[in-house]
Structure 1
Amino acid sequence: MTPTTSRPPRLRFRFPDWAGRNFRLLAAAAFVTNLGTSGAVVASAFAVLRAGGDATDVGLVAAARTVPLVVFLLVGGAVADRLPRHRVMVAANCLNAVSQGVFALLVISGEARIWQMAVLAALGGTGTAFFAPANEGMLLSTVDGAHAGRAFAVFRLGVNGANVGGAALAGALIALVGPGWVLAVDAACFALAASLRALLRVTRTAAAATPGGGLLRDLHDGWREFASRRWLWGIVVQFSVVNAVMVAAEAVYGPLVSQAELGGAGPWGAALAAFGVGNILGGFLMLRWRPRRILLAGTLCVFPFALPAVALALVLPVPLLAATMLVAGLSIEVFGVTWMLALRQEIPEDKLSRVAAYDWFGSVSMIPLGTALAGPAAGAFGLTGALWGCAGLAVLLTGAVLLAPEVRDLRRKDTTAEVAGGGPAPVVQPIPNDPPGGSGEGTASLS
């Protein structure tokens, strides 16, 4: 008799129960989008310089992307709550794919002009203004309350990993093939992300904005929802200033200190990479940590966000500067996850995108002003004084937010029955897992 041999059991990878089909599609699309976009930010600056532009022109093209983002954000939030969110996201991705594709063709052909780049950047910013609120509303309503913290941490891990990897790849590709091809890759990433998001299955949309009320009524309802929660508008006001001063420190003061005191661009690049690594470590931390007072824990973790400005003001050695950047990246990622948890459990699902739009508006609207005033502030107070001012404003406003009892006392709710102020679970439910037990861009703003 021939002896029989038993085959070893075949291993089969299974997604956790909370990672439903919609969540997986959102996470994959966000990874693809951010992989391309993080490289395109670097490539667009080099494209402007290779077209004969100077630092002012680089700033002009960057501002051309930011201005329509600020202008159309609130409209984008209202549209995302009125129409199926995944369709708004797909349309916005298509606009970004086309604008970046044309941008790439002009750069590759050597025919790009500064005004053309500015117009195409403005189209990209418009697409982002409609995409960001729809994406945040869709993501927040796709996971159940019991697993939301872990899901958001996983989502942000993918986004942060893509940002770090995309920026690193872009530097190498620009040197090898030029910035135009990096922009072409970004356009292809947007097209692929649109295809993934088109596969989202939504059982029922949140588009129940007041019938016949019109866009202005939708915006008013969103504002009322936003303004009625002191913890919400307080933290958004906090980050409108914190983001502005920290971006000024990173984009303006960091390179200046590094060039004058630390040995050039290399050390500052290493410090920025350490910040990205900190983001990733913070994501891993939030896979395990489940703080009960979510906003208290998150807001306390904003204080270390001021450390890089302090390190630059003191001109610490590069290893210590990198260490402060890593701690800042880790701590602000903790805030990011707890903030998403708070929005997910406290805001009614049909108003998520409008509230997210006000959040985004507050988070980005002051950044152009902060970077514009960075130079005059350094001239008036000195570079060291301006850096201490950035750190002091961040600490002062964070401490002020903690005075609000709503921030200190808001607690995690772990069941879907407890979300949105005790109301019903979100109407956009995760699609059931494909087999039993089977089966996400930054966005985000910091606040």
Structure 2
Amino acid sequence: MHSYLSDLGLLRDRRFTLLLSARTISVLGSAFAPVALAFGILALPGANATTLSVVLTAESLPMIVFMLAGGVIADRLPRQRVMMAGEFVMAAGFFALAVMLLTGWTPLPALSAAAALSGLATAITFPALTGIIPEVVPLDRLQAGNALLGLGANASRVAGAVLGGGTVVLFGGGWALVVSGAMFALAGVLIAMLRLDRAPVPEAVRVPAAEDPSEGEPAPRDERHSVLSDLRDGWREFSSRQWIWVVVLQFSLLVMAIQAGHGVLGPLLAKETLGGPGAWSAFLAGEAIGTIVGVLFSMRLRPKRPILVAVLLCLPAALPYVLLGLDAPLWAIVIGAFVLGVCFDMFGVLWMTTMQREVPADALSRVSSYDMLGSLMFGPIGLMLAGPAAYLFGTEEALLACAVIIVVATLAALLSPGVRNLRAPGARVRHADLK
């Protein structure tokens, strides 16, 4: 029986504490970015919502283009080094953006190129992060480890939303981006201090991967594979699990709506009617506080059908966009953001823990890269369409359309038997005993 006290015992592990510190500081740097970048770009002479859409699209596209390569790299190379490189590349991108905003030299191609560096860094870092957690955290403590990492990240989002907005108001977006870059660099240093023994490699893995362990022929692990072969093996692991690819399809639409709402439409409405960067910082802070509360629930949440519960938790993500679209008062909008934060954090812990338990460790980063690629593939479309949609139909109407997309995609995912029926390991054993 786990308790909060036993979960917190992970903090005595030096390796976990270093990983937690690096992740927390990196997310704090990221939390400065939405407000700093959005209002820094919108404050440029002649800039508008379309300008912001272009820069954010340039940031998102490399994430999609290089995500699969990031998964292969993270499964082939020491994940610690991969994460370290990603943090330093992220720092370089934000320092470049900061220099441009502070000097006033802001040609759109240069801004887009610097933003693209941060997208590339995400493609490198995220698959490695998913895979490195089981190398640091024991299998029976994975949910607690994911929750504690989430707690640090979410606390950073709260602090970053408040401090980022304050920095933008007092000093401007350029200086906020300087702070972001410094935090990414510090996170890279902490990752460099993480000493991991190379994870033990099984003598053989089965190809093709399947949920039935009797399928497939053993292939020597030390056999050299091409990148395409690694990608095919990762795809087999991904596509053989209906619950993974259905939820990834769901999230491709959710992320499209959320990118449009959070990246362009929300800041634009905040500038037009809610009072500017301070109001949008309050929205982001409400969401971030919700994610902290969500951690407390997720540490204790042990549903028998984790993916079913996770998908149901996506429905409230539509609430803040409904409230924004209906011109609700700011306090109600912030409450809606809080609810979104609670539900999305609980989803994230259940999703990541289930993947880490169900997917073989040697393919985990590749499956994670397919997960993120699929989830993000329509994100640039949302960013590109957000500005024109606000112009043609109105900002409020575009935000309501985002809410509709979220609800319809989530209800469609619930039709999948794989989503509804996947059982947690303990519940699976009890269910088998009853047969």
The CA distance in 2 between the partners of 1:357 and 1:315, in whole Å, is: 38
Q: 2:182 aligns with which of 176, 185, 188?
A: 188
Report the Cα offset of residue 379 of structure 1. 6.7
Equivalent pair of 2:35/2:277 in contact (CA under 8 Å): no
Structure 2 residue 36 is the aligned partner of structure 1 residue 43: yes
Q: 1:54 aligns with which of 37, 47, 56?
A: 47
Structure 2 residue 45 is the aligned partner of structure 1 residue 34: no
Equivalent pair of 2:92/2:117 in contact (CA under 8 Å): no
Structure 2 residue 191 is the aligned partner of structure 1 residue 197: yes
Structure 2 residue 394 is the aligned partner of structure 1 residue 400: no
User: Structure 1 94/263 Cα, relative in aligned 2: closer, same or farther at 3 Å?
Assistant: closer
Q: 1:348 aligns with which of 351, 360, 377?
A: 360
Equivalent pair of 2:231/2:366 in contact (CA under 8 Å): yes
Partner of 1:246: 258
User: Structure 1 364/260 Cα, relative in aligned 2: closer, same or farther at 3 Å?
Assistant: same
Letter in 1 for 2:328: L
Corresponding pairs, count: 403
Of residues 150-159 and 137-146 in structure 1, the stretch that sits farther from structure 2 once superposed is 137-146
Structure 1, unpaired ranges of 5+ = 1-13, 419-447
Residues 2-42 of structure 1: CA deviation (Å, up to 9, x unaligned): xxxxxxxxxxxx96057633221111001111112221343
Partner of 2:122: 128
The CA distance in 1 between the partners of 2:259 and 2:420, in whole Å, is: 27
Report the Cα offset of residue 375 of structure 1. 4.8
Q: 1:278 aligns with which of 290, 308, 317?
A: 290
Equivalent pair of 1:90/1:195 in contact (CA under 8 Å): yes
Partner SS, residue 165 of structure 1: helix
Partner of 2:231: 219
The CA distance in 2 between the partners of 1:239 and 1:294, in whole Å, is: 16
Report the Cα offset of residue 366 of structure 1. 0.7
| Within-5 A mapping of 1:33-182 | 33-48=26-41, 52=45, 54-55=47-48, 56-182=50-176
The CA distance in 2 between the partners of 1:253 and 1:95, in whole Å, is: 28
Equivalent pair of 2:53/2:386 in contact (CA under 8 Å): no
Residues 144-180 of structure 1: CA deviation (Å, up to 9, x unaligned): 2322222211111111111221232122223444433
User: Structure 1 310/174 Cα, relative in aligned 2: closer, same or farther at 3 Å?
Assistant: closer
Report the Cα offset of residue 350 of structure 1. 0.5
Report the Cα offset of residue 207 of structure 1. 8.0
Report the Cα offset of residue 303 of structure 1. 1.2
| Within-5 A mapping of 1:298-377 | 298-375=310-387, 377=389
Letter in 1 for 2:28: L
Letter in 1 for 2:410: T
Partner SS, residue 16 of structure 1: helix
Residues 354-398 of structure 1: CA deviation (Å, up to 9, x unaligned): 011111111222111123223555677666654444333322222
Residues 327-369 of structure 1: CA deviation (Å, up to 9, x unaligned): 1211111111100111111000001110111111112221111
Partner SS, residue 203 of structure 1: coil
The CA distance in 2 between the partners of 1:174 and 1:113, in whole Å, is: 21
Query: Could you tell me the TM-score, scaled by structure 2's length?
Result: 0.83
Which has more radius of gyration?
1
Equivalent pair of 1:81/1:207 in contact (CA under 8 Å): no
Partner of 1:24: 17
Letter in 1 for 2:232: H
Residues 242-298 of structure 1: CA deviation (Å, up to 9, x unaligned): 111133233444455556666666555433322221111111211232222211221
User: Structure 1 313/63 Cα, relative in aligned 2: closer, same or farther at 3 Å?
Assistant: closer
Report the Cα offset of residue 46 of structure 1. 4.5
User: Structure 1 239/52 Cα, relative in aligned 2: closer, same or farther at 3 Å?
Assistant: same
The CA distance in 2 between the partners of 1:129 and 1:224, in whole Å, is: 21
Equivalent pair of 2:57/2:383 in contact (CA under 8 Å): no
The CA distance in 1 between the partners of 2:11 and 2:147, in whole Å, is: 13
Partner SS, residue 290 of structure 1: coil
Report the Cα offset of residue 123 of structure 1. 2.1
The CA distance in 1 between the partners of 2:224 and 2:144, in whole Å, is: 39
Of residues 123-132 and 56-65 in structure 1, the stretch that sits farther from structure 2 once superposed is 56-65
User: Structure 1 82/316 Cα, relative in aligned 2: closer, same or farther at 3 Å?
Assistant: same
User: Structure 1 216/39 Cα, relative in aligned 2: closer, same or farther at 3 Å?
Assistant: same
Letter in 2 for 1:137: G
Equivalent pair of 1:84/1:205 in contact (CA under 8 Å): no
Report the Cα offset of residue 319 of structure 1. 3.0
Equivalent pair of 1:93/1:127 in contact (CA under 8 Å): yes
Letter in 1 for 2:189: S
The CA distance in 1 between the partners of 2:246 and 2:392, in whole Å, is: 30
User: Structure 1 322/138 Cα, relative in aligned 2: closer, same or farther at 3 Å?
Assistant: same
Partner SS, residue 373 of structure 2: helix
The CA distance in 2 between the partners of 1:49 and 1:312, in whole Å, is: 20
The CA distance in 2 between the partners of 1:385 and 1:106, in whole Å, is: 34
Equivalent pair of 2:158/2:285 in contact (CA under 8 Å): yes
Equivalent pair of 1:145/1:413 in contact (CA under 8 Å): no
Partner of 1:440: none
Structure 2 residue 423 is the aligned partner of structure 1 residue 411: yes
Structure 2 residue 242 is the aligned partner of structure 1 residue 230: yes
Report the Cα offset of residue 230 of structure 1. 0.4
The CA distance in 1 between the partners of 2:238 and 2:398, in whole Å, is: 32
Query: Could you tell me the TM-score, scaled by structure 1's length?
Result: 0.81
